[in-house]
Amino acid sequence: MGTAERIFPADHPAVPGHFPGNPIIPGAVLLDEALRAAGAGLGVSLSSCRIKSAKFLAPVRPGDRVVITFDRSGTGVIRFTCEVGGRTVLKGEVACGATSTAA
């Protein structure tokens, strides 16, 4: 199991359009960061992965501290969860022929 943290700044390029006066981090940006963190933390390439599920449960705002946890099962499924202040904001699974990036 691994853990990573991200904080999306108020000047992130996706913030102005999502949504003026009530900014949130777009789900695609959050999902991308979760997958990058999992791939890096597990030392695997996710280039051949398929997203099995991704459930967005609450918005993430600029400045929120996002804690990303992830693990990989023996069958190659990577599970990930993103939390803000102890509340789950995203959870999902990726199935892939992930290969090690370690030499």
- How many structural domains comprise the chain? 1
Note down the domain range covering 67.
2-100
- Per-residue pLDDT reduced to its tens digit, 44-97: 888 888 999 999 999 999 999 999 999 999 888 999 999 999 999 999 999 986
Residue range 22-53, pLDDT digits in tens:
899 999 999 999 999 999 999 988 888 899 99
Q: Which of 2, 12, 14, 18 is catalytic?
A: 18
What pTM was estimated for this model as a whole?
Answer: 0.88
12 is a catalytic site residue: no
Strand ordering across the sheet containing 65-72: 2-7, 65-72, 77-84, 87-96, 49-56
Does the pLDDT value for residue 99 go beyond 80? no
Q: What is the CATH number of the domain that holds 24?
A: 3.10.129.10
User: How far apart are alpha carbons 97 and 44 in whole angstroms?
Assistant: 9
Per this entry, what is the length of the chain? Answer: 103
Determine the number of helices (DSSP H) and then strands (DSSP E) in the chain.
1, 7
